[in-house]
Structure 1
Amino acid sequence: MTDPGQRLRSSLAADQAASSGTEFDSPIAMEALRATRVLHAADQEPFPAPGRIRVVTIANQKGGVGKTTSAVNLGVALALYGLRTLVIDLDPQGNASTALGVEHSVGTPSVYDALVGDSSLSEVVHPTTASPLLSCVPATIDLAGAEIELVSVVAREYRLRRSIEAYLHSLPVERRPHYVLIDCPPSLGLLTLNALVAGDEVLIPIQCEYYALEGLGQLLNNIDLVRQHLNPGIAVRTILLTMYDGRTKLADQVAEEVRNHFGDLVLDAVIPRNVRVSEAPGYGQSVLTYDPGSRGSTSYVDAAREFAHRGVALPPLTSHPAPGGIAAPPAGALGFPDTDAATVPVPPSPEERA
């Protein structure tokens, strides 16, 4: 199996081959060529639409592995290449909101109002400047107290799922997002649990360092528990290797170990360590708009392309018996209307029970 370093070198060689014999024969010129490809994404072949609306939970309880960075840059890449995308910031720090240039100061309508208050998700969705096809539900510091406030709420694990389903049903077919990306906090608390119940698949970013592997077993065990008791349809479908440093042998060893264990779940695209990726949020941008010619930018485009192509073959969601024998909602809630997709059952609200 080709190691990540070889894949990065092959990608660079492909750029060089594409520009050989032309005026693009210097590193600066090649970077300009890559930037042009990203900036003019609308003029290129769009990414294929998925077979159903993909609600993707991006989770890893270890901090600093690239969850928010991946949620933001994958979301921007999908939108730039023609797919309607919604990013839900579920981290009280609000870093995804910052990177997308969305206001998230105290008092801003946010995901907190949808989880704890009476607001619908449509009331707290904000547009972004990165792409007309990309929108964001920001997180404010109020979200830090949401876990305590939700303790006494009936069916508290399903609050986010109900909000997403109601939002999708409120939109006409042609405006429904192809992708809903949920950025989780670095913990396994009630907010992450809401995200796991709301999603039908999990994307796990794994930093190419040893510590990143230590807590992975606990995360997978928690996903299994959610599958058994709350969301039978949840599954880990994607692993993304991040912060790959080709100068170290450790990065290759970690990447090889992850690929040997997870197999085809691991994307071929690898995200390298790149200072532009770290700088971009300081300007309220993703790396794709901040420095589209950087290796970080092109790597995220490659990852998003592969991620999108994998979604084409996804089968429709199937109906599962609800925990506790509660009836399932109508088919097609998270799938496109012309499919037989059905959502994982959600307990009825207290009003419905009355």
Structure 2
Amino acid sequence: MGKIIAIANQKGGVGKTTTSVNLAASLGVLEKKVLLIDADPQANATSGLGIDVDAVEVGSYQLLEHTATSKDCIISTNSPNVDIIPAHIDLVAIEIELVDKEEREYMLKKAIENLKDTYDYILIDCAPSLGLLTLNALTASDAVIIPIQCEYFALEGLGKLLNTIKSVQKIHNENLDIEGLLLTMFDSRLRLSNQVVEEVQKHFNDMVFETIIQRNVRLGEAPSFGESIINYDVGSKGASNYLSLAKEIISKNDM
């Protein structure tokens, strides 16, 4: 039975999409069958895996609206063992359209329940907000990965996100776990980066992944070629970091 993992943080620019795309690709090359769901209207995970966003006819918008089935929305990608449910800018409207619907927080859960037997991992790239889209992702998920940038405001907003997760656990999804906090954009030359790592590890110890994602030029370049870091430059530091994260997740879940 597959595991559904949301990648969430209401702060923008912390590495959510980079993590979604590259973790999916890394799990794929480690022979896990992966589905990535792009639940962000910016659709960066979609373009980051080489899909032309303007050509998307059915995707996460139709999935949440229940006007298309999950199977209708799935596209295969150029990454081995990785499929995607793409996003399109029209996803922006979904929060307004769902607001009057009954059980609006469960739309995604109901739409993808039947996919758990098809995939080992289903990853959901969340929008940088704590709105209805992210709430749907957390309600549908078994666990959440929280990327945290190794910069000054790293812990700002984390309390708010953890409170949101607590209220989702209480009201919508009592089985939601925190898979881990992932430190991203780490630069070992900066004292601040090292201080943030120490702070996060001190406060959250076991909740923090051992793998730390380092700043890496190749990681930044890969999306502009519509490729994951694994396809773009498997010998890079970025690829080695994400493969290490994928192995950590696999060994944690295969126990």
TM-score normalized with structure 2 length: 0.97
C-alpha distance after superposition, 1:183-219 (max 9, x if no partner): 0000000000000000011100111012121110000
Amino acid at match of 2:120: H
Structure with higher Rg: it is 1
- What SS class does the counterpart of residue 112 from structure 1 fall into? helix
Aligned to 2:178: 236
Where structure 2 has 5 or more consecutive residues not aligned to the other structure, the ranges are none
Q: Cα RMSD (Å) of the superposition?
A: 1.1
Alpha-carbon distance in structure 1 between the residues aligned to 2:25 and 2:179: 20
Aligned to 1:96: 45
Aligned length: 255
Whether 2:190 is the aligned partner of 1:248: answer yes
The structure 2 residue matched to 1:80, chosen from 16, 29, 38, is 29
The structure 1 residue matched to 2:130, chosen from 188, 191, 198, is 188
Moved over 6 A (4+): none
Amino acid at match of 2:124: I
C-alpha distance after superposition, 1:141-183 (max 9, x if no partner): 1100000000011111000000111344xxxx5xx10000000
Whether 2:97 is the aligned partner of 1:155: answer no
- What SS class does the counterpart of residue 84 from structure 2 fall into? strand
The structure 1 residue matched to 2:248, chosen from 288, 303, 306, is 306
- 1:106 Cα deviation from its structure 2 partner: 5.9
Aligned to 1:287: 229
Contact 1:104 1:110 (8 Å CA) reproduced? no
Where structure 1 has 5 or more consecutive residues not aligned to the other structure, the ranges are 1-51, 314-354
Higher strand share: 2
C-alpha distance after superposition, 1:36-72 (max 9, x if no partner): xxxxxxxxxxxxxxxx421001000000000000011
Contact 1:103 1:138 (8 Å CA) reproduced? no
Alpha-carbon distance in structure 1 between the residues aligned to 2:7 and 2:228: 17
Contact 2:149 2:183 (8 Å CA) reproduced? yes
Q: Does 1 or 2 have the higher relative contact order (CA < 8 Å, sep 6+)?
A: 2
Contact 1:89 1:138 (8 Å CA) reproduced? yes
| Greater displacement, 106-115 / 150-159 | 106-115
- 1:103 Cα deviation from its structure 2 partner: 2.8
Contact 1:242 1:271 (8 Å CA) reproduced? yes
Aligned counterparts, 1:136-175, within 5 A: 136-168=84-116
Aligned to 1:11: none
Contact 1:65 1:205 (8 Å CA) reproduced? yes
- What SS class does the counterpart of residue 186 from structure 1 fall into? coil
- What SS class does the counterpart of residue 154 from structure 1 fall into? coil
Aligned to 1:118: 67
The structure 1 residue matched to 2:218, chosen from 243, 252, 276, is 276
Contact 1:227 1:234 (8 Å CA) reproduced? yes
Alpha-carbon distance in structure 2 between the residues aligned to 1:235 and 1:269: 19
Contact 2:66 2:107 (8 Å CA) reproduced? no
- What SS class does the counterpart of residue 203 from structure 1 fall into? strand
Contact 1:106 1:141 (8 Å CA) reproduced? no
Contact 2:56 2:86 (8 Å CA) reproduced? no
- What SS class does the counterpart of residue 212 from structure 1 fall into? coil
Alpha-carbon distance in structure 2 between the residues aligned to 1:106 and 1:113: 14
Amino acid at match of 1:114: L
Alpha-carbon distance in structure 2 between the residues aligned to 1:117 and 1:230: 19
- 1:107 Cα deviation from its structure 2 partner: 5.1
- What SS class does the counterpart of residue 223 from structure 1 fall into? helix
Whether 2:142 is the aligned partner of 1:206: answer no
Alpha-carbon distance in structure 2 between the residues aligned to 1:146 and 1:208: 32
Whether 2:136 is the aligned partner of 1:224: answer no
Residue identity over aligned pairs, in percent, reads 46
- 1:233 Cα deviation from its structure 2 partner: 0.7
- 1:117 Cα deviation from its structure 2 partner: 4.0
Amino acid at match of 2:204: F
Amino acid at match of 2:65: V
Amino acid at match of 1:189: G
- What SS class does the counterpart of residue 210 from structure 2 fall into? coil
